[in-house]
Structure 1
Amino acid sequence: MKTSQCNPLTPQHGPGGGQRYVTPGPRVSRVVVERGIMFILIACSTVAVFTTVGIVVSLLLEAIRFFKSVPVSDFLFGLVWSPQTAIRPDQIGSSGSFGAVPLLAGTFLISAIAMSIATPVGLFSAIFLAEYATPRIRAIVKPALEILAGIPTVVYGFFAALVVAPLLRNTGEAVGFDISSESALAAGLVMGVMIIPFVSSLSDDVITAVPQNLREGSYGLGATKSETIRNIILPAALPGIVGSLLLGTSRAIGETMIVVMAAGLSARLTANPFESVTTITVQIVTLLTGDQEFDSPKTLSAFALGLLLFLVTLILNVIALQVVKKYRVKYD
């Protein structure tokens, strides 16, 4: 059997187990395909980057317009938030107060309450599912936890306003505490329940992905299961766990509906979880709802709040990355 020297034949196994001869395609076509795929990947990455840059630039430009009317120091360090400004110059109360400290305090208070619930419950449930649960129990418990992530936030808000808040108020009255009908505690507790599946699901995947030889080596040295989890598995899975906690924190900071329905709209500078507070996202929605003029400080303050929220989230990301990087060096 003679073959052409220009198109060498390559033997390959056919469907029936025998061999068939095929002629390799030109190398130029493969190079074109690879370049086309590379172009598509670069284009997708560029869209993501340009979208982020566009959001930041739009917030920054409108925030600069706001800071021409309100000093930056008054916005960042002011202790009173009352953006109601008069339409006419002769109207009473023509100058509003734009201190963002009460909004930051309310945001951090509710987020801290939510993460104090979501972190231990989510992390411990992930450890149980990954290390202790049988396949049958895991097949039941894991989908049940993930169902919580699919519930709309407005449903959580109804639950917080109609069930949790009255329960807390009645319990407080029984033990002698004065708990408001709209409190940071009610919003934080329900928000923590909402964040549990985010922390649990991501942490479970990260813990399961830890190489099995690390576990076997620990057991071979005489360590118990709990010692292996504490000293080997959790340090190895720390970057993913920190990522899940950061995602949960960002979710708590950006939540709006639960806060509106359970914590109210009062911008108070307080650390008491029994009182009504508000957050940055709630005020952004309030300022941009309805027919608004985009040349007044009241409306432009929403963009300044958005920029402030972006910077807070960015700082949290940087801190989390530094913590993970430091621990990785120690672990390696």
Structure 2
Amino acid sequence: MSTDRITETLTRRTENSSRELLARGFFFACAILSIVTTISIALLLINETLRFFSETAWLVNAKGEAYSIIRFYTGKKWIPSRGEFGVLAPLTGTLMVTIEAALISIPLGVATALYLSEYASQRTRSVLKPALEILAGVPTVIYGFFALIYITPALSNFVQLQFFNVLSAGIVVGIMIIPMVASISEDAMSAVPDELRQAGYGMGATKFDVSVGIVVPAALSGIFSSFILALSRAIGETMAVTIAAGSSAQFLNPLNLTAYTLPNMPMTAAIIQSLTGDFTGGGMAYRSAFALGFSLFVITLVMNIVSDLIAEHYREEY
């Protein structure tokens, strides 16, 4: 090999090494930035939550009862203007919306994923899947007005309900998270090896038997992950439920079907009300939003941990 060829090779290797180091440094910085941002948000929530509970330690309600962190998590009234900070009221609103959204999005999302993965042609899939992803990109405020203008009037033909109600909010959130369930579940089903399908067909199984009896169990970890992620999105949804569910929080029984026809403000809507209302910035009502935010943060964190555990338990190695 000539000297020029050796020099050229060494130069190329040096340039490639420099690019690799630059790329590694850039991606490392991005990873550190995301971790620092997450930790900063968590520390802010914890700090403001502790300040809220330190300020409410001396608070006395109309009945002369002293306030405490226990009363915050067991109280059934959420009226910040009166010093009532009972998280169970907005928590039931969040729970009711999440239950409705799950009942709508999980079966429809899995059925859609099963069709796209097993039944749809390549051409049909190339059209429907981008359409689902576009549906996921619609601003949530549009979903809220859609619930008020179309869903509530349509439901009023069958049941008696108020203009702002949990039923419409849950339905629209369920529609909103269908693309997430369908997309992630379809990716999990598409990752199932074709050898498993061919083995099922070789045993005389029908298309439906293979889809339901082989593909779905093999993709169960990804499907469960899509459920948890979608429900986390439903719990954290803000604008759609703020518009459709009303601005009053009350403790309702999620098992009582008539309760869904009433307005009930979820936790995210209560946060918006505390931050954008007529309350003094830095006061107790203002800081109650951070206590609610911290509670939501813990709930979604636990759900993500559960999702990882379930996915790890049902994950198949091929």
Distance in 1 of aligned mates of 2:26 and 2:215:
38
The structure that is helix-richer by fraction is: 2
1:109-120 pair list within 5 angstroms: 109-120=96-107
Q: Give 1:101-180 correspondences, 5 Å limit.
A: 101-172=88-159, 178-180=160-162
Q: How does 1:279-294 map to 2 (within 5 A)?
A: 279-289=266-276, 292-294=279-281
Q: Which amino acid in 2 is paired with 1:205?
A: D
Deviating 4+ runs (over 4 angstroms): 6-9, 26-29
In structure 1, the residue matched to 2:285 is 298
Distance across 1 between alignment mates of 2:295 and 2:108: 30
Higher CA-based Rg: 1
Deviations 1:59-79 (A, max 9, x none): 110110001123211111111
Give the C-alpha shift of residue 260 in structure 1.
2.1
**Is 1:258 aligned with 2:255?**
no
**Counterpart in 2 of 1:51?**
37
* Number of residue pairs aligned between Structure 1 and Structure 2: 301
Identity score, percent: 40
Structure 2: how far apart are the matches of 1:36 and 1:260? 45
Contact 2:242 2:268 in 1 (8 A): no
Quick one: distance in 1 between partners of 2:130 and 2:25?
Answer: 38
**Normalised TM-score (structure 2):** 0.87
- Is contact 2:222-2:311 (8 Å) kept? no
Higher-RCO chain (CA-CA 8 Å, sequence separation at least 6): 2
Displacement of 1:29:
4.3
Note the C-alpha offset of 1:150.
2.9
* Paired amino acid for 1:262: A
| Pairing 1:201-280 to 2, within 5 Å after superposition | 201-270=183-252, 271=254, 272-280=259-267
Q: Which residue of 2 aligns with 1:89?
A: none
How big is each residue's C-alpha offset from its partner over 1:202-259, in whole Å with a ceiling of 9 and x where there is no partner? Answer: 2222212222122122222333322222232122222222222222112211222221
Partners of 1:204 and 1:327 lie apart in 2 by: 17
What amino acid does structure 1 have at the position aligned with 2:55? S
Counterpart of 1:216, as a letter, is Q
- 1:291–1:182: structure 2 CA closer, same or farther, 3 Å change rule? closer
Contact 2:101 2:171 in 1 (8 A): yes
Q: 3-state SS of the aligned residue for 1:60?
A: helix
TM-aligned CA deviation for residue 51 of structure 1: 0.4
What runs of 5+ residues in structure 1 fail to find an aligned partner? 10-21, 86-95, 173-177
Aligned partner of 2:65 in structure 1 is none
SS of equivalent to 1:68: helix
Equivalent residue, structure 2, for 1:61: 47
Residue 78 of structure 1 corresponds to 75
Q: Does 2:10 match 1:25?
A: yes
Alpha-carbon offset, residue 291 of structure 1: 6.2
Distance 1:136 1:30, change over 3 A: closer
C-alpha distance in structure 2 between counterparts of 1:292 and 1:99, whole Å: 17
Match of 2:176 in 1: 194
**Given residue 296 of structure 1, which amino acid in structure 2 is its aligned partner?**
G
After superposition, give the CA deviation of every residue in 1:9-46 in whole Å (9 maximum; x if it has no partner): 6xxxxxxxxxxxx9412444444433332222211110
Aligned to 1:13: none
Shift of 1:136: 3.6
What residue identity is the alignment partner of 1:84? Answer: S
TM-score between the two structures when normalised by the length of structure 1:
0.83
Structure 2 alignment gaps of length 5 or more: 57-67
Paired residue type of 1:107: T
Measured on the aligned residues, the alpha-carbon RMSD in Å equals 2.2
